[in-house]
Amino acid sequence: MKKLTILFLFFTSIGFAQDIIPTEKTPVKVTPILHGTVVLEYENLTIYVDPYGGAELFSNQKNADIVLITDIHGDHHNQETLDGLDLSQAIIIAPSAVAEKLPANTYKSVEVLGNGESKSLLGVGISAIPMYNLPETSDSRHPKGRGNGYILNLGGKNFYLSGDTEDIPEMRSLNNIDVAFVCMNLPYTMDVEQAASAVSAFKPGIVYPYHYRGGNGLSDVEKFKTLVNGTTPEVEVRLRNWYPEN
């Protein structure tokens, strides 16, 4: 897969780094916000993923046209943050377990997607794919089918957002992913070795480790990069600060 090149990197007035990723059409601007939260801008659209950390973190961002929510946990479906944002014109994309918790008559619409389902909204192709823990048990923190990972098609490029998952077969078998956001931390998702192994299996053009807060080496993104590039040097590992207070 041809490696994508970065056009430039700059910082906003509140310290967030922004990557610009070229596509067949207009570039996509990637802004890490906090933990598992990212803002993507493409053409005249702004997409929030798992808004979390308080509305003030979005003070320099445009209002969202699309909001993706992956799961019910508070670092993904954070109602306090949602309530502090102007989402009156936003389309919320969420699994049913999240959608049933959202207040009525607050958003432009709420679109429910389950694993394996796809929609095209505002010119963006959106596919929901599984995210879950292994082994599959009745008391799993993330049972299969409750939450969604997402693949977005923006300008002909495929952007994968893992949500909270382990290195499940559905992730390892992904194809043609240009940009991936892959979670790390235990006990909710994966350790560094699992995440690196999965990325080396599906070989995205670019990968951002995110959602990596944790001690005991669980946030060792440099180790993640070394492991990925030790087996798949063609994958560009981009390390960004998802915890700007640190």
User: Does residue 4 carry a pLDDT above 70?
Assistant: no
User: Does residue 32 carry a pLDDT above 60?
Assistant: yes
Residue with tokens 């929030």: 48
Q: Tell me the average pLDDT of the chain.
A: 90
User: Does residue 1 carry a pLDDT above 70?
Assistant: no
Say what the pTM is. Answer: 0.91
Q: Which CB contacts under 8 angstroms, 24+ apart, belong to 87-90? A: 87/63, 89/63, 89/65, 90/48, 90/63, 90/64, 90/65, 90/66
C-alpha distances in Å from residue 57, one per residue of 42, 102, 140: 20, 21, 31
Q: What is residue 213's predicted lDDT score, i.e. its pLDDT?
A: 83
Q: What is residue 71's predicted lDDT score, i.e. its pLDDT?
A: 97
Q: What is residue 244's predicted lDDT score, i.e. its pLDDT?
A: 82
Side chain identity at 239, as an amino acid letter?
Answer: L
Map out the domains of the chain with their CATH numbers: 9-237 (3.60.15.10)
Buried b (16+ CB within 10 A) or exposed e, 199-213: bbebbbbbbbbbbbb
DSSP 3-state of 149: strand
Q: What is residue 210's predicted lDDT score, i.e. its pLDDT?
A: 95
Q: What is residue 214's predicted lDDT score, i.e. its pLDDT?
A: 73
**Alpha helices per DSSP H over 127-215:** 169-172, 192-202
H/E segment holding residue 183: strand 179-183
pLDDT confidence bin for 10, thresholds 50/70/90: very low
Q: What is residue 7's predicted lDDT score, i.e. its pLDDT?
A: 40
pLDDT tens digits, one per residue of 79-90: 999 999 999 999
User: Does residue 118 carry a pLDDT above 70?
Assistant: yes
